[in-house]
Structure 1
Amino acid sequence: MKAIIYRDHGDADVLQLVERDVPEPGPGEVRVRVAVSGVNPTDWKSRSGATSRKSFPEVTPHLDGAGVIDAVGEGVDRSRVGQRVWLYMATVGRPIGTAAEFTVVSAEQAVPLPDAAGFDVGAALGVPALTAHRALTVAEDGPSRLGPGALDGKVVLAAGGAGAVGHAAIQLARWAGATVISTISGPEKARLATAAGAHHVINYREGDAAARIREIAPDGVDIVAEVALGANLALDLAVLATRGTIATYANDGDKPVNLDVRQNMTLNTRYQFLVLYTVGTRALTAAAEDVAAAVRDGALPVGEDHGLPLVRFPLDRTADAHRAVEADTVGKVLVDITP
């Protein structure tokens, strides 16, 4: 099979296209013929060595993807052969991710993908959708699971709604019944956040963003899905409801975070820092189940018309795909593997 590999940490030039044997599924595993691989910031950060040490002599990157199960291991129902699936966390504890014609994952990590949902949708789920789910289910006064009506009466602020996680947060929050506000930095990103389903879009660079959010939500925002905590904390606290939650999955810009203890005590602020690698099996399983339900309901479409432009590369240009993600390309970067 054709696969992308790297043997040493470094820039995107360490990625190589090679031929490798097709892997065999072990007990409890499935082998998937990958159609589309999704690229996330965590993929290039792992490759560069910025966030992790390499656990295998050779690594095929990418956590997310979509394709068709073509073989199953012992203990897995053989009726799953031929099933369309989306994959998540493919490289956790394994050397072969989705930047290859075939990959092997545990049966639970291959989630059925409805016929109505294309492989592009499947490859765009994974890290963004599971992260967004976690951000929306950690509030003290909120639900631990998502579904239609779960967030009725709640106000969600999705910071950076034009990003992949912000996009998923908008879609999942709206599917669950929340009033969704998104903060953006310009007209084009406003268009994308609106296309994703945000009820209100606020340009935080113009005027008094906090006042405009308070006009929409006089009692404050219940949940903030935050991508740049240091940069946005003052705004978040200015609009947060009492006992509100700030769930942060990144700190874009790396601005230091300084907490006013008295202000946060008065609000009874809850902070949830999150990364999928250590979130735990229970949370991942619940998120995958709820995201799968949202996909079945048609609630997580992708593409320009749905607020998440797709930027595509062939397998032999995976290095360029990584460079695109490193450069903060707007939209979802995908690598086409097989037809």
Structure 2
Amino acid sequence: MRSVVYSKPGDSSVLTVEERPLPQPGRGEVRVRVVVSGVNPTDWKARAGGTYGDGLPFPEITPNQDGAGVVDAVGEGVDTLHEGDRVWLYMAAASRPTGTAQEYTVVPASRAVALPEGTSLDVGASLGVPAMTAHRALTTHEDGPSRLAPGALEGRTVLVAGGAGAVGHAAIQLARWAGATVISTISSQEKAALATAAGAHHTVNYRDEDAAARIREIAPDGVDIVVEVSIPQNAQLVADVLANHGVVSIYANNGGDEATLPIRPNMSVNARYQFLLLYTIGDRALSAAAEDVTAALRDGVLPVGEDAGLPLTRFALEDTAAAHDAVEGDAVGKVLIDVAGE
């Protein structure tokens, strides 16, 4: 089978396409014929040394955590999936040497989730890191909810920073599905159109207007949940708009690794700052996210494509290096790799 691999950290030039033996699933595992692989910032950052440093935990690594395809072999002890099942994958390469940038991949059965009938593999490959991160960000408020479903966020206001990104896009969709009023900050009219297409009720251009004043105009009592991509840049804005007992769910370090938080405004509203990383949130949170995201799929809630607010940029498997470069270069929307036909 064709597999994209690297054996040392570095820029995208370390990625090569090689022939590798067909892997066999062990106990509790399934083998998936990958049709579409999804690329996330975590993929190029791990390849570049941001996760492992100067060494690698395995002699050779195949990148990419997310993808979608068809189960074609089932290991002993697996009764939740069967050959022929269409699935979406998450954390395929977490603590494992092989991700989804190859024609077949073996994953624990828990990381392969059956796609509801009618859900495309493009949608499946666009879930994983973005959708599950968004789910966690929306379920960290001290007064709940801990799960998402229609009505779970009724009466709450959610602010999504950077609603045109993949996590922001999923957060808008899931928050809207759960009944929240959704506000998204954006930097251009084009990105406002994407956030609106995703389902945001309101968009605020932080470059052209007083963002805090506009958000307070929309939500006089403040924002209950902030899905935050850049707390170094947005710390003051967040403090200015948080509701009493509001939570700021921080899922990325865009803008740097250090932030200065204004103490008094946060103290006055009993603010909570919740950092989150998908790879360490634990099995219970991962299972809850997988179940709720799949329920949202059954309701038709997580479409992709420009009309849905998440433009798709596609590459061939041989061009995985270019796909990584596109994500590193902040390509708008979602970058997908076409591995094989369905």
Deviation at 1:262, TM superposition (A): 2.7
Deviation at 1:104, TM superposition (A): 0.5
Partner of 1:86: 88
Letter in 1 for 2:106: V
Unaligned runs of 5+ in 2: none
Partner of 1:10: 10
Query: When the two structures are superposed, what TM-score results if normalisation uses the length of structure 2?
Result: 0.98
User: What is the alpha-carbon distance in structure 2 between the residues aligned to residue 207 and residue 30 of structure 1?
Assistant: 51
Deviation at 1:333, TM superposition (A): 0.4
- The 1:233/1:4 distance shift into structure 2, 3 A limit, reads same
User: What is the alpha-carbon distance in structure 1 between the residues aligned to residue 262 and residue 317 of structure 2?
Assistant: 48
- The 1:78/1:135 distance shift into structure 2, 3 A limit, reads closer
Aligned counterpart for 1:278 among listed residues 280, 292, 297: 280
Partner of 1:316: 318
SS at match of 1:152: coil
Partner of 2:268: 266
Query: When the two structures are superposed, what TM-score results if normalisation uses the length of structure 1?
Result: 0.98
Deviation at 1:263, TM superposition (A): 2.5
Deviation at 1:80, TM superposition (A): 1.1
Letter in 2 for 1:31: R
Deviation at 1:41, TM superposition (A): 0.2
Deviation at 1:78, TM superposition (A): 8.3
- 1:134-171 deviation per Cα after TM superposition (whole angstroms, max 9, x unaligned): 00000012200000000000000000000000000000
- The 1:78/1:204 distance shift into structure 2, 3 A limit, reads closer
- The 1:79/1:61 distance shift into structure 2, 3 A limit, reads closer
User: What is the alpha-carbon distance in structure 2 between the residues aligned to residue 255 and residue 71 of structure 1?
Assistant: 43
The number of residues matched between the two structures is 339
Partner of 2:209: 207
- 1:59-93 deviation per Cα after TM superposition (whole angstroms, max 9, x unaligned): 00000000000000001138611000000000112
Which stretch of the first structure deviates more once superposed, 308-317 or 211-220? 211-220
- 1:30-62 deviation per Cα after TM superposition (whole angstroms, max 9, x unaligned): 000000000000000000002224210000000
Letter in 2 for 1:239: V
Query: Is the CA contact (8 Å cut-off) linking 1:72 and 1:78 kept in structure 2?
Result: no
- 1:267-311 deviation per Cα after TM superposition (whole angstroms, max 9, x unaligned): 111000011111111111111110010011100000000000000
Partner of 2:39: 39
Letter in 1 for 2:128: G
Partner of 2:160: 158
Partner of 1:184: 186
User: What is the alpha-carbon distance in structure 2 between the residues aligned to residue 52 and residue 299 of structure 1?
Assistant: 35
User: What is the alpha-carbon distance in structure 1 between the residues aligned to residue 286 and residue 328 of structure 2?
Assistant: 26
Query: Is the CA contact (8 Å cut-off) linking 2:39 and 2:327 kept in structure 1?
Result: yes
Partner of 1:238: 240
SS at match of 1:80: coil
Query: Is the CA contact (8 Å cut-off) linking 1:37 and 1:334 kept in structure 2?
Result: yes
Query: Is the CA contact (8 Å cut-off) linking 1:138 and 1:144 kept in structure 2?
Result: yes
- The 1:307/1:14 distance shift into structure 2, 3 A limit, reads same
Query: Is the CA contact (8 Å cut-off) linking 1:231 and 1:255 kept in structure 2?
Result: no
- The 1:124/1:211 distance shift into structure 2, 3 A limit, reads same
- 1:159-206 deviation per Cα after TM superposition (whole angstroms, max 9, x unaligned): 000000000000000000000000000100000000000000000111
Partner of 1:63: 65
Partner of 1:302: 304
Alignment RMSD: 1.0
Which stretch of the first structure deviates more once superposed, 278-287 or 78-87? 78-87
User: What is the alpha-carbon distance in structure 2 between the residues aligned to residue 182 and residue 316 of structure 1?
Assistant: 36
User: What is the alpha-carbon distance in structure 1 between the residues aligned to residue 269 and residue 80 of structure 2?
Assistant: 53
Letter in 2 for 1:12: S
Partner of 2:331: 329
User: What is the alpha-carbon distance in structure 2 between the residues aligned to residue 85 and residue 78 of structure 1?
Assistant: 12
Query: Is the CA contact (8 Å cut-off) linking 1:68 and 1:82 kept in structure 2?
Result: yes
Structure 1 stretches of 4+ with a deviation exceeding 3 A read none
User: What is the alpha-carbon distance in structure 1 between the residues aligned to residue 158 and residue 52 of structure 2?
Assistant: 32
Aligned counterpart for 2:126 among listed residues 107, 124, 127: 124
Which stretch of the first structure deviates more once superposed, 178-187 or 46-55? 46-55
User: What is the alpha-carbon distance in structure 2 between the residues aligned to residue 116 and residue 230 of structure 1?
Assistant: 41
Query: Is the CA contact (8 Å cut-off) linking 1:136 and 1:173 kept in structure 2?
Result: yes
Which stretch of the first structure deviates more once superposed, 264-273 or 303-312? 264-273
Which stretch of the first structure deviates more once superposed, 224-233 or 256-265? 256-265
Unaligned runs of 5+ in 1: none
- 1:113-132 deviation per Cα after TM superposition (whole angstroms, max 9, x unaligned): 12311110000000000000
User: What is the alpha-carbon distance in structure 2 between the residues aligned to residue 171 and residue 218 of structure 1?
Assistant: 23
Aligned counterpart for 2:258 among listed residues 256, 272, 288: 256
Deviation at 1:219, TM superposition (A): 0.4
Letter in 2 for 1:327: G
Deviation at 1:255, TM superposition (A): 6.8
Letter in 1 for 2:6: Y
User: What is the alpha-carbon distance in structure 1 between the residues aligned to residue 68 and residue 14 of structure 2?
Assistant: 24
SS at match of 1:174: helix
